[in-house]
């Protein structure tokens, strides 16, 4: 058999084997992410969480409980400003010993930075992201599968996740920019996964006695059914999740607030009427992994902000039009 004939027979077989291996790896990655999502709903743990952002290191003690009575979490800052947060489902109580204040608020339970990320429905993200299993490493003394979540374009960030092999708890995450560089990192330095969390571990250090208590009422969101604004085109994969009126600090009238999402990345768009005294915000303002871009349309300040690349927020501002008629930025 000639070399040419041999290559014609063998190379397609090798390509099929490699392709099948990649697909199998992707499937294992997706299944691991789905296990991680389920684990975030029903596994109890406590440990020390380290968060790196903009060259700053923050450490906190985390206690997480999930059972048929609800979801509970206690977070204690271990460095920087003294602060302790206790969550029970949607009720959040924040103790601030330095100022002797307690803030009580109601907000949808999202948990700490890792549990919030783990709660995504990854099976719905395959249109815009690829999942690749990259191997096995150790985090917090535990074997963990390393998974790369890579966007299919430059309009959103990627992630690298380390998921516990045994119990699928998310142990570490890197937020990656368009070049694959780490923007933020969160990881457990130590973690104990337990059958039950004793009540004392969820009890705040302070009783709040002698503190000033404040209760923040949730903003009454009035949904916008009809708007004079359009965003066309939307970045691929993004959709408008909700539109409601939002009272900006110091503003005399409410502004429109739109929330866009691709299922993983979220972006806010604000439409605020400008007065003669207002100085508009125009251009880019980066804040670590978060980018904001401002422009002006028909006497309104348009501000887009989100944990997405700079080109995404800029693209959205330029896609805004009033009454279906695009204008120019000022």
pLDDT in tens, 277-328: 889 999 999 999 999 999 999 999 999 999 999 999 999 999 999 865 544 4
Q: Which pLDDT belongs to residue 20?
A: 44
Average pLDDT for 40-63? 93
Q: Which pLDDT belongs to residue 109?
A: 58
Please tell me whether residue 254 adopts helix, strand or coil conformation: coil
Q: Which pLDDT belongs to residue 328?
A: 42
* pLDDT band at residue 7 using 50, 70 and 90 as cut-offs: very low
Q: Which pLDDT belongs to residue 41?
A: 83
Above 70 in pLDDT, residue 158?
yes
Q: Which pLDDT belongs to residue 24?
A: 56
* pLDDT band at residue 6 using 50, 70 and 90 as cut-offs: very low
- Map out the domains of the chain as residue ranges: 8-216, 229-326
Average pLDDT for 107-112? 69
Q: What's the token pair of residue 321?
A: 């039009």
Above 80 in pLDDT, residue 112?
no
d(CA 222, CA 242): 11
What stretch of H or E contains 36?
helix 3-42
Question: Which neighbouring-strand residues pair with 266?
Answer: 261
Q: Which residues contact 246 (CB under 8 A, 6 or more apart)?
A: 219, 221, 254, 255, 256, 257, 270
Above 50 in pLDDT, residue 213?
yes
* CA 300 from centre of chain: 28
Pairing type for strands 182-194 and 170-176 reads: antiparallel
d(CA 303, CA 314): 10
Average pLDDT for 45-54? 95
* pLDDT band at residue 73 using 50, 70 and 90 as cut-offs: very high
* pLDDT band at residue 113 using 50, 70 and 90 as cut-offs: confident
Q: Is the distance from CB of 168 to CB of 161 less than 8 angstroms?
A: no
Average pLDDT for 202-230? 89
Q: What's the token pair of residue 74?
A: 């206690």
Average pLDDT for 92-97? 95
Q: Which pLDDT belongs to residue 1?
A: 45
User: Average model confidence (pLDDT) for the chain?
Assistant: 88
Q: What is the CATH number of domain 229-326?
A: 3.30.200.100
Residues 114-147 as b or e (16 or more Cβ within 10 Å = b): bbebbebebeebeebbebebeeeeebbebebbbb
d(CA 134, CA 136): 7
Question: Which neighbouring-strand residues pair with 93?
Answer: 86, 104
Question: Which neighbouring-strand residues pair with 173?
Answer: 161, 186
Above 60 in pLDDT, residue 162?
yes
Q: What is the CATH number of domain 8-216?
A: 2.50.20.10
Greatest mean pLDDT among 107-116, 203-212, 248-257: 203-212
d(CA 65, CA 44): 5
Does 297 or 218 have the greater pLDDT score?
A: 297
Please state, for a pLDDT cut of 70, what percent of the chain lies above it.
Answer: 88
Average pLDDT for 32-44? 91
Q: Is the distance from CB of 154 to CB of 163 less than 8 angstroms?
A: no
| Helix spans in 156-307 (H) | 199-202
């Amino acid at each position: 058999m000639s070399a040419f004939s041999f290559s014609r027979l063998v190379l397609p077989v090798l390509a099929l084997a490699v392709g099948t291996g990649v697909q199998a790896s992707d499937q294992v990655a997706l299944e691991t992410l789905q296990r991680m999502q389920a684990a975030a709903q029903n596994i109890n743990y406590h440990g020390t969480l380290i968060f790196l952002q903009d060259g700053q290191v923050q450490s906190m003690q985390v206690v997480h409980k999930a059972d048929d009575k609800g979801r509970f979490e206690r977070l204690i800052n271990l460095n920087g400003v003294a602060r302790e947060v206790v969550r029970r489902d949607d009720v959040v109580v924040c103790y601030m010993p330095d100022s002797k204040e307690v803030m009580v608020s109601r907000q949808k339970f999202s948990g700490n930075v890792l549990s919030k990320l783990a709660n995504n429905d990854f099976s719905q993200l395959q249109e815009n992201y690829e999942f690749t299993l990259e191997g096995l490493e150790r985090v917090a003394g535990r074997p963990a599968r390393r998974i790369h979540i890579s966007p299919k374009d430059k309009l959103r960030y990627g992630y690298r996740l380390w998921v516990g092999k045994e119990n699928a708890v998310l142990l570490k995450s890197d937020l990656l920019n368009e070049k694959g560089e780490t923007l933020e990192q969160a990881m457990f330095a130590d973690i104990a996964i337990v059958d039950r969390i004793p009540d004392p571990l969820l009890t705040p250090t302070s009783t709040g006695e002698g503190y000033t208590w404040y209760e923040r009422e949730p903003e009454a969101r009035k949904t916008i059914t009809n708007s004079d604004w359009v965003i066309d085109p939307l970045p691929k994969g993004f959709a408008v999740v909700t539109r409601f009126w939002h009272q900006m600090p110091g503003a005399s009238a409410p502004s429109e607030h739109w929330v866009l999402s691709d299922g993983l990345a979220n972006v806010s768009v604000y439409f605020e009427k400008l007065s003669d005294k207002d100085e508009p915000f125009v251009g880019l303002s980066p804040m670590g992994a978060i980018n904001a871009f401002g422009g002006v349309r028909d006497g309104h300040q348009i501000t887009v902000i989100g944990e997405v690349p700079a080109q995404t927020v800029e693209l959205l501002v330029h896609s805004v039009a009033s009454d279906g008629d695009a204008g120019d930025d000022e």
